Amino acid sequence: MSLKQRIIDIGKVIDYFSSKYENIILYGLSFGGICAAIATVKFRKVKRLITVNGFFSFHPKNFTRKQAIALWMSILINPNLWFEVYYWLQNFKPSNISVPTLVIYGDKDIVVSPMQSISFFNKLKTNKRLFPIKGADHAFINGDYTTETKKVSQWIKKNVI
């Protein structure tokens, strides 16, 4: 499924739920982070954004050498991926996000560099909070994150409810 189609689908879900709910919150994990960020700008009914270990950039500094080679090989082999990159570059505008945004990342994530979340956070010009989770990997599988979960819940209560 293309990035553009994902954004269209998110818009349809937002339209459906916004007739029943005022506080539409988008939550994006990994590649879902870029989708949620773009959709937040496109659809004004979104009131809050939360990203977790978001994949936001094709910049080589955000990849291991192996990941960068795999990405560029995929783009060379599949020319349609150039359209995805073009759509991404045209529509990903973090400085245009105007809703309160929580950016969460695991500092031990080896799938998506924590620098992607930090860079995204630094480009935001809205009410924002950066929340690193010490010792967390990409899927938050290993570890006890009870304390961090409570802090995230506090942010949500303060900024959403």
Where does the pLDDT of residue 161 fall: very low under 50, low under 70, confident under 90, or very high at 90 and above?
low
Q: Is 100 in contact with 87 (CB distance < 8 Å)?
A: no
Percent with pLDDT over 90 in the chain: 60
Structural domain count, the chain: 1
Where does the pLDDT of residue 149 fall: very low under 50, low under 70, confident under 90, or very high at 90 and above?
confident
Domain-embedded: residue 155: no
Domain-embedded: residue 158: no
Domain-embedded: residue 81: yes
Domain-embedded: residue 89: yes
The label of the residue with tokens 């500094």 reads 61
- Residue 128 confidence (pLDDT) above 90: yes
Domain-embedded: residue 153: no
Domain-embedded: residue 159: no
What range defines the domain where residue 125 resides? 3-145
Domain-embedded: residue 154: no
pLDDT value for 153:
84
| Higher pLDDT pick, 160 / 120 | 120
Domain-embedded: residue 156: no
Among 6-20, 22-36, 56-70, which is the least confidently predicted range? Answer: 56-70
What pLDDT digit, counting tens, does each position of 129-140 carry? 999 998 899 988
Q: What is the mean pLDDT of residues 72-96?
A: 87
Q: What is the mean pLDDT of residues 116-139?
A: 93
Half-sphere exposure of 99 (CA within 13 A, CB side): 26
Q: What is the mean pLDDT of residues 67-94?
A: 85
pLDDT value for 43:
97
Closest of 123, 124, 145, 61 to residue 132, by C-alpha: 145
> What is the CATH classification number for the domain harbouring 110?
3.40.50.1820
The average confidence (pLDDT) of the chain is 89
d(CA 49, CA 103): 8
- Residue 85 confidence (pLDDT) above 90: no
